Amino acid sequence: MSVRTPFYYYDLTLLENTLEEMQAAINNPNFKVHYAIKANAEDRILHTIKKHGLGADCVSGNEIKKALEIGFEPQDIVLAGIGKSDEELELAISQGIHSINCESIEELEVINEIAERHEAIASIAFRINPNVDAQTHHKITTGLNENKFGIPITELDAAVDEILKHKNLALKGIHFHIGSQILNLNPFANLCQQANNVTTSLKARGIVLEHINVGGGLGINYTNPDSQLIPNFVEYFRVFEKFLNLEEGQTVHFELGRSIVGQCGSLVSKVLYVKKGASSNFAIIDAGMTDLIRPALYNAFHKVENISKDGELEPYHVVGPICESSDTFGKTELPKTSRGDFLIIKSAGAYGQVLSSNYNLRDRAAAIYSDDISLENYISSRETVSELLAV
Ligand code: LLP
């Protein structure tokens, strides 16, 4: 049998089910989810998400172009980003997207200048840094004073003074994003409290917003993915129902990425060698940090399974072929593993394929979908990917 590995395998049924459960968990007509494209920008994933009625949260001009190409309406697209280039702002303004989440007073001036040139009124949301601890990995924490993101609450009044001076800007909303892979929901309750403080002080100045964007961040179960393939969206949305004070007609926007696509993707790889090291047995696989950088970058844990073997478990250190010691998928226990076995690295649908690189001039892993008719390109004998992954 020959299979071209490594490759990303996406379970589209799980993606559909996740989207359905997520939409069913919303019982407020004013709640709207924008999918954070940065988590996974594969066309088929985006088409599926679009079909379920979500909007798009973009962080670059190219993500806006991609969203438009997939068919998202400009009114369903938001742009965030701490360092938007003039070209990216031109694109956002000329397309008339729903809102530009502005991160500094200086940026307001630039947006106004570009909007004036386009004879347009740019819809602005202030991205505010609420100084709320997301209680997650420090590299994916974004809402503390020490983080580079957002306008500090102490600068809010000055930002309002500034925006009122510009005739080509309209303040439509506020935006927050405190971090990612958040499993304890308390930080979201704290965020609501801060959002309420902000809306109260804006109201005191006669400003009532059209929308409040609470960002993304809901985490997934990496440790034991099969026990919870779909995150608890009901509890998540309930926090905002309960703690956010809303005005009549005000909408709440969410920018979920990982919780939607995280569990539907796996990285499938083959064991190249099993080497007896001085302190552990290395299972050397053909996938590396160029395919999935999360373990190297954040010490992230992804469950690894040997789908070719059963039997008693033995300790292995699973590593990739890249010339870096951080190219590891961690120490785990697997059935007796040998050359040619297939190992799958689970929960890799978010921030996996999008973060892959050509380092060492390696090819990037392809994507294969559970309903893919071109599977023969990758699998040339009796085994199909679904057989391969039906474990
Ligand atoms: N909104 C904003 C403004 C963001 O910066 C992000 C993620 C999201 C929404 C979506 O967050 P999510 O729902 O996916 O947590 N590469 C890291 C994650 C970086 C997240 C960056 N921003 C990882 O692999 O864990």
Average confidence (pLDDT) over 39-46: 98
Cβ atoms of 289 and 354 within 8 Å: the answer is no
Catalytic residues: 323
pTM given for the model: 0.94
Helix 61-70 with 43-51: angle, nearest 10 deg: 60
| Global ipTM | 0.99
How would you class 13 by CB atoms within 10 Å of its CB: exposed for 0-12, middle for 13-18, buried for 19 or more?
A: exposed
Predicted local confidence at residue 374, as pLDDT: 58
Q: How far is the C-alpha of 41 from the C-alpha of 355, rounded, in Å?
A: 10
Q: How far is the C-alpha of 190 from the C-alpha of 250, rounded, in Å?
A: 20
Do the strands 281-285 and 265-276 form a parallel or antiparallel pair, or are they unpaired?
antiparallel
**Residues annotated in a binding site for substrate:** 258, 294, 298, 324, 351
**Residues annotated in a binding site:** 217, 255-258, 294, 298, 324, 351
Determine the atom of ligand 1 nearest the C-alpha atom of 39: 14
Q: What is the dihedral of CA 319, 322, 326, 328, to 10 degrees?
A: -20
Predicted local confidence at residue 376, as pLDDT: 53
Lowest-pLDDT range of 43-47, 149-153, 321-325, 350-354: 149-153
The response to whether residue 36 sits with its C-beta less than 6 Å from ligand 1 reads: yes
Do the strands 342-345 and 304-306 form a parallel or antiparallel pair, or are they unpaired?
antiparallel
pLDDT at residue 331 above 60?
yes
* pLDDT tens digits along 100-139: 999 999 999 999 999 999 999 999 999 999 888 888 888 8
List C-alpha distances in Å: 2 to 11, 274, 283. 22, 19, 20
Predicted local confidence at residue 1, as pLDDT: 43
Predicted local confidence at residue 381, as pLDDT: 40
Distance 297 CA to ligand 1 centre (A): 14
Cβ atoms of 106 and 155 within 8 Å: the answer is no
pLDDT at residue 228 above 70?
yes
Contacts of 386 (CB under 8 A, 6+ apart): 370
| Residue 287: its H or E element | none
Do the strands 169-175 and 151-152 form a parallel or antiparallel pair, or are they unpaired?
unpaired
What whole-number percentage of the chain has pLDDT above 70? 94
What whole-number percentage of the chain has pLDDT above 90? 87
Distance 37 CA to ligand 1 centre (A): 9
Which protein residue has the closest C-alpha to ligand 1 atom 24? 351
**Residues annotated in a binding site for pyridoxal 5'-phosphate:** 217, 255-258, 351
The response to whether residue 180 sits with its C-beta less than 6 Å from ligand 1 reads: yes
Hey, what domains does the chain have and what are their CATH numbers?
80-256 (3.20.20.10), 264-389 (2.40.37.10)
Q: Using pLDDT thresholds of 50, 70 and 90, give the confidence band for residue 140.
A: confident
User: Which phi and psi angles does 373 have, rounded to 5°?
Assistant: -85, -10
The response to whether residue 213 sits with its C-beta less than 6 Å from ligand 1 reads: no
Average confidence (pLDDT) over 210-239: 98
Question: How many other C-beta atoms lie within 10 A of the C-beta of residue 39?
Answer: 26
The response to whether residue 337 sits with its C-beta less than 6 Å from ligand 1 reads: no
pLDDT at residue 4 above 90?
no
List C-alpha distances in Å: 380 to 339, 369, 376. 19, 16, 6
Q: Which of 193, 131, 125, 197 is nearest to 159 (CA)?
A: 125
Distance 390 CA to ligand 1 centre (A): 30
Which residue did the predictor score with more confidence, 62 or 385? 62
Determine the atom of ligand 1 nearest the C-alpha atom of 256: 13
* pLDDT tens digits along 248-298: 999 999 999 999 999 999 999 999 999 999 988 999 999 999 999 999 999
The response to whether residue 217 sits with its C-beta less than 6 Å from ligand 1 reads: yes
pLDDT at residue 214 above 80?
yes
Q: Which residue has the tokens 């990425």?
A: 257
The response to whether residue 236 sits with its C-beta less than 6 Å from ligand 1 reads: no
pLDDT at residue 17 above 80?
yes
Distance 259 CA to ligand 1 centre (A): 10
Q: Tell me which of 63, 99, 177, 180 to substitute to probe ligand 1's pocket, judged by most ligand atoms within 8 Å of the beta carbon.
A: 180
Which residue did the predictor score with more confidence, 144 or 342? 342
Q: Which residues pair with 100 in a beta bridge?
A: 79, 124
Instruction: State the average pLDDT for the chain.
Output: 93
Distance 194 CA to ligand 1 centre (A): 20
The response to whether residue 88 sits with its C-beta less than 6 Å from ligand 1 reads: no
Q: Using pLDDT thresholds of 50, 70 and 90, give the confidence band for residue 372.
A: confident
Do the strands 313-319 and 281-285 form a parallel or antiparallel pair, or are they unpaired?
parallel
Q: Where are the alpha helices (H) located in the chain, listed in sequence order?
A: 12-25, 43-51, 61-70, 86-95, 105-117, 156-165, 186-204, 233-243, 258-261, 294-298, 385-389
